[in-house]
Each structure stands twice: as C-alpha cells, then as structure tokens.
C-alpha cells in the first residue's frame, strides 16, 4: 500500500510518524474520511471546508485546500491502482506535528498531513444498534463540532455495541437527547418530517447528513435540524445512520426499544442520498 505523507508518496512499510507527533501523543489534530467512486471524490469541497474549519479552530497550519486535496487523492489512487474501483475510502489526517513535552502548543509547528486510500465494500443493508451506556456526547465542548482525532469515546461506544451483539451505537448527549452514532449521523423520519439532532446538541456537522437534509427538502419533505428524543426513535417511521462512506443505512433494530419503523421511509432516505452520491460521481 502506498500512502501520501507530508508531500510525498511512500510505501506503507516506510510510512511512519515521529513519536513526538502531537497527533499521536495528545490527539492534537483532525481528519476527514471521504468516498471516492471510480476516481471521483464525493463532496470533496465540503470535506475540505470542514477540515479547514477544524484546523482554524485548533490553530493548526497547513490544511490542504480543495485543489491540493484533489491532487493528493488522485496521486494516491494512481499509485495504488484504485482509479477504477467503485468504492474507495480516503482518509486525510492533519496534526500539529511534533512538539516538546506538555500540552501547550509550540509557537511554531510543522504539521503532519497523511492521506491513505483503501477499497471498501458496499454498505450494509441495515444495522442493529444499541443506545450507548458507556459514554455520551458533550455539547459543551467546541470539539464536539470538530472531527478531531479524539475518537476514544466512539471506540468505547462501538465496543459496547459489539459486546452487546449489535453493529453500531447511538450516543445520547449529556442532556439525554440523541446526538449521533459512533461515526455517523442519526436521521429520523416520520410522515413527511425528516430531522436530525442540531450541532448545538453534540452532533458532528456530518456532510452526508447535510446532503440528505438538502435532498429531502428538495423532494418536498419537511427536513431540518431538530431535537431527537429517545421516544422519537421509537415512534419514527424510520431511523437511518448517515456518513460519507456508507450513505444512509437503515436501523433495523435498537436494542431495548421496540423495533424501528417498517423501513419504508428508510428506503426513501437511502435512495435520496444514493442519488445524490451518484450525481456527485458523475459531475465534471
């Protein structure tokens, strides 16, 4: 496997970072994961906008812009023979780079930028989720709106899900409302209403989530950010999890709640987001 690291393509056997990299020691960085369909990155501009906003919030220099990122993605795909692959995940990781001991960011820094590509399979038809008991999302931190490297809580929640025989975990926020899943947004549908937890309630501003809301609104649905309560999950016609790699995946069951809705609404949301991805894959 070839990866892109700080400006050059290197074989993964040689692809290493300094042990003093603050991304490694302190999760002092951010990342994006995007889908590439037959050489075409999906929603690249949105991903780079979020990466840029995250880097600005953390005051980390050197986030690649959209053109640079497009060039990195293409170089990675060519180097790995993935240009014709129908589904490739590209992850761009951006850290503050190495620093001296302690939390305080160094006054100057040499950021680390890593990009990796790997083919991925088709999304699951549906998932079984739990509501995580081990952790909740924290809306009182600005980092809940950033895709930082601090994914420990999501790993804890996912491990809890796997331990309890489920595929995914829905995370509540500290007030007990629904926030998001471990690496996906939660979107609920009932009648012609489609809604998802507000960013202010601890949800990451998911890109697939925003695309789905816009597509649903164009389709005449009443789509918006609104509080999602646990009861809303039970009463919904459908609950789907959205992210850039999988699109929308219906939740077939939430352990401990009555089975989620028939999935008809879920099918509609899946189709809306799939069509949006297909449009993006055709764009010039």
- Binding residues for a copy of itself, rule: CB under 8 A, are 3, 5, 12, 15-21, 23-28, 31, 58-59, 89, 91, 93, 95, 100-101, 103-105, 114, 116, 118, 120, 134-136, 138-143, 148-156, 158-159, 162, 174, 182-183
- To a copy of itself, the closest distance from the beta carbon of 277 in angstroms equals 19
- Residue nearer to a copy of itself on the CB measure, 61 or 155: 155
Cα gap 126→264, rounded to integer Å = 12
User: Is 96 in contact with 120 (CB distance < 8 Å)?
Assistant: no
- Residue nearer to a copy of itself on the CB measure, 24 or 190: 24
- The two beta strands, 222-225 and 168-172, are unpaired
Give me the residues paired with residue 42 across strands. none
- Residue nearer to a copy of itself on the CB measure, 22 or 211: 22
- To a copy of itself, the closest distance from the beta carbon of 55 in angstroms equals 13
- To a copy of itself, the closest distance from the beta carbon of 116 in angstroms equals 7
Q: Is 53 left (phi over 0), alpha (psi -120 to 50) or beta?
A: alpha
- Residue nearer to a copy of itself on the CB measure, 16 or 68: 16
- Residue nearer to a copy of itself on the CB measure, 134 or 193: 134
User: Is 42 in contact with 89 (CB distance < 8 Å)?
Assistant: no
Pick from 189, 190, 191, 170: which is nearest to 180 by CA? 170
- To a copy of itself, the closest distance from the beta carbon of 181 in angstroms equals 10
- The two beta strands, 222-225 and 2-5, are unpaired
């Amino acid at each position: 496997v070839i990866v892109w690291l700080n400006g050059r393509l290197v074989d993964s056997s040689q692809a290493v970072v300094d042990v003093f990299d603050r991304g490694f020691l302190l999760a002092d960085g951010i990342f994006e994961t995007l889908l590439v369909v037959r050489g075409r990155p999906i929603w690249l501009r949105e991903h780079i906008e979020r990466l840029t906003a995250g880097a600005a919030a953390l005051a980390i220099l050197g986030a690649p812009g959209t053109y640079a990122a497009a060039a990195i993605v293409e170089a990675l795909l060519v180097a790995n023979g993935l240009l014709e692959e129908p589904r490739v995940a590209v992850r761009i990781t951006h850290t503050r780079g190495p620093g001296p001991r302690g939390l305080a960011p160094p006054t100057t820094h040499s950021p680390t930028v890593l990009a990796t590509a790997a083919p991925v399979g088709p999304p699951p038809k549906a998932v079984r989720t739990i509501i995580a008991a081990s952790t909740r999302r924290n809306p009182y931190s600005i980092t809940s709106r950033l895709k930082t490297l601090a994914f420990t809580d999501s790993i804890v929640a996912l491990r809890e899900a796997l331990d309890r025989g489920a595929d995914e975990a829905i995370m509540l926020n500290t007030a007990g409302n629904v926030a998001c899943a471990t690496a996906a947004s939660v979107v609920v549908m009932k009648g012609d209403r489609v809604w998802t937890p507000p960013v202010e309630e601890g949800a990451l501003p998911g890109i697939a989530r925003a695309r789905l809301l816009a597509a649903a609104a164009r389709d005449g649905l009443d789509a918006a950010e609104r509080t999602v309560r646990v009861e809303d999950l039970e009463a919904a016609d459908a609950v789907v999890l959205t992210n850039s790699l999988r699109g929308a995946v219906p939740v077939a069951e939430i352990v401990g709640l009555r089975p989620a809705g028939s999935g008809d609404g879920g099918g509609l949301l899946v189709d809306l987001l799939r069509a949006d991805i297909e449009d993006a894959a055709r764009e010039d």
